[in-house]
Structure 1
Amino acid sequence: MVRARDRGSEHKYLAVRAYLSELVANELSVGDAVPSERSLTERFGVSRMTVRQAVDALVTEGILERAQGRGTFVAPPRADFEMRLTTFGEEARRRGLTPGADILETAVVPAPRTVAEALDRDVATPMHFVLRLRTADGTPMSLEETWVPVDLAPDLLSDGVPESIYGALRARGLDPTWGEETITAADATPQERETLQMQGSHAVMRTSRRTFGGDAPLMYSRASYRGDRYSVFVPLREARPTLVPRTRASAPAATTPAGRVPEGSPR
């Protein structure tokens, strides 16, 4: 049972949180500073801890962001993407954002075990590899790693990295028709924090996706998304049997090539 004193503290916390949310929605703009903890403490007659809890909750939700030594500010809105078999660029445009991509690396490399199993190939099978920094309206959003078997599309990267790898596969008669994606939460690595320009939150959302054309796996991808700039919209439906494609028996492990992004790192 919650004691009366605890309920009172909870109500004050909610009042501070509601006040700040109202300020952000109706009076402040992105980058504006919110009132200091001291002024909020005096305004609501609460402890600094209560104020900090309310601010922390809004930081976690991506509504506010802290800048060390400077204060707390209104954060840019998160990009809300729906889980569908589309590319980052397609989803960004659907949300009215301008997608961008910085190509960090491209190569033809032997498939590590995880990639080979996901794509139903032998370990060390040649793979097209692409590492990109994806942006929305110029803001870094994710590090994205993509693998496509060379035997499916030998000329895939002949003219550079296509704007849409899905589109390039379709142009070669390889239509992505369905996929499966796994999502986990993690702390960003130092490299991710630097590349994604993360300052406050260090949380990232890691995804791994297998894309299929009929029964054939076409592409394997991994990504790390900024937790403070990215949210996922997932439509729900009545439960149905889960589709779990079978992969080939594992072959002996191969050494990841020098300079390669290690297993489990962002795509």
Structure 2
Amino acid sequence: MSTAADAAPAHRSDRLRAYLTELVRELAVGDLVPSERELTARFGVARTTVRRVVDVLVAEGLLERAQGRGTFVAPPRADFQMRITTFGEEVRRRGMTPGSRVLVAVTLPAPAGVADTLALDPGALVHRVQRLRTADGEPWAVEDAWIPAGLAPQLLHGGVPESLDAALRAHGHPPTDGAETISAADATEEERRLLGMPGTRAVLRIDRRTFAHDVPLIHSLTSFRGDRYAMFVPLDGARSPGPVGG
């Protein structure tokens, strides 16, 4: 009889995803799912593979993470699947001119949560880039991005590149896929100040993880002004043959 350890790596990750998807159906909202360490041992895959599968299920709204507590079955919610685009690409697509003001650009030891997200050893060096993103000079978003310094040690030399994706591609690490969690939240005091939002207003928060296959490239958290940003999501639906009506 074959075991999880006997299967090819790609098949193991498929089996892991199928297992977690079925487990979500069996458990109740808020129930704890097995830890990354348990899943790594059970399915014989790398921890980065486990994290990537969980990232996808988090993005799909099946699971949710609680820092320091674990991963749980998520309550039902609406979410979207989209292709990877940069802020600049999205703004240009709207016929506007993108811009940035660098707030933080530093290389430092990764905080524990960042190291875990990027599958790094504790204390490994990361680049942190925080920017105020603008469209036609108007503030649209605050972006905070973390990149493993080992992938591009000279990334910040000479200034922050306009596109982190393009810069990593130039260093031989082209982004191939990613996962996003999108949610609405009240703006923090700093976000209201930077985005020019008087009073308490909602922001759209996008938590994105970008990969080059199984290698984590960027973890970013971007807060968009709710009154300046809208998502366009094309929907495809299969139509069964039959009378037209309704």
In structure 2, what is the equivalent of residue 151 of structure 1? 150
In structure 2, what is the equivalent of residue 108 of structure 1? 107
Identity across the alignment (%): 56
Q: Give yes or no for contact 2:130–2:142 (8 Å, CA) kept in 1.
A: yes
CA RMSD of aligned residues (A): 1.9
Structure-2-length-normalised TM-score: 0.61
* Equivalent AA in structure 1 for residue 97 of structure 2: T
In structure 1, what is the equivalent of residue 18 of structure 2? none
In structure 1, what is the equivalent of residue 227 of structure 2? 228
How many Å apart are 1:237 and its aligned residue? 5.0
Is 1:215 the counterpart of 2:177 in the alignment? no
Distance 1:236 1:127 in 2: 37
In structure 2, what is the equivalent of residue 175 of structure 1? 174
Gaps of 5+ in 1: 1-81, 239-267
Distance 2:192 2:127 in 1: 26
How many Å apart are 1:132 and its aligned residue? 0.1
Q: Give yes or no for contact 2:143–2:223 (8 Å, CA) kept in 1.
A: yes
Is 1:122 the counterpart of 2:105 in the alignment? no
The alpha-carbon distance between structure 1 residues 108 and 123, as it changes in their structure 2 partners (threshold 3 A), is: same
In structure 2, what is the equivalent of residue 192 of structure 1? 191
Distance 1:119 1:237 in 2: 33
What is the DSSP-based 3-state SS (H/G/I as helix, E as strand, rest coil) of the residue aligned with 2:174?
coil
Q: Give yes or no for contact 1:201–1:228 (8 Å, CA) kept in 2.
A: no
Q: Give yes or no for contact 1:118–1:220 (8 Å, CA) kept in 2.
A: yes
Distance 1:142 1:123 in 2: 30
What is the DSSP-based 3-state SS (H/G/I as helix, E as strand, rest coil) of the residue aligned with 1:93?
helix
Q: Give yes or no for contact 2:205–2:221 (8 Å, CA) kept in 1.
A: yes
Q: Give yes or no for contact 2:107–2:128 (8 Å, CA) kept in 1.
A: yes
Distance 2:82 2:125 in 1: 29
What is the DSSP-based 3-state SS (H/G/I as helix, E as strand, rest coil) of the residue aligned with 1:115?
helix
Distance 1:119 1:163 in 2: 22
Distance 1:165 1:187 in 2: 27
* Equivalent AA in structure 1 for residue 231 of structure 2: V
Which digits, 9 at most, give the CA deviation of each residue in 1:40-97, with x for residues without a partner?
Answer: xxxxxxxxxxxxxxxxxxxxxxxxxxxxxxxxxxxxxxxxxx9431210111111111
How many Å apart are 1:160 and its aligned residue? 0.6
Which digits, 9 at most, give the CA deviation of each residue in 1:5-37, with x for residues without a partner?
Answer: xxxxxxxxxxxxxxxxxxxxxxxxxxxxxxxxx
Which digits, 9 at most, give the CA deviation of each residue in 1:151-189, with x for residues without a partner?
Answer: 110011111100111111111110001000001111111
Distance 1:99 1:125 in 2: 32
Gaps of 5+ in 2: 1-80, 238-246
In structure 2, what is the equivalent of residue 136 of structure 1? 135
How many Å apart are 1:201 and its aligned residue? 6.1
After the TM superposition, which residues 50-89 of structure 1 pair with which residues of structure 2 at under 5 Å, given as runs?
83-89=82-88
Distance 1:237 1:116 in 2: 37
Structure-1-length-normalised TM-score: 0.56
Distance 1:83 1:97 in 2: 21
Distance 1:228 1:152 in 2: 36
Which one has a bigger Cα radius of gyration?
1
Distance 2:120 2:233 in 1: 31
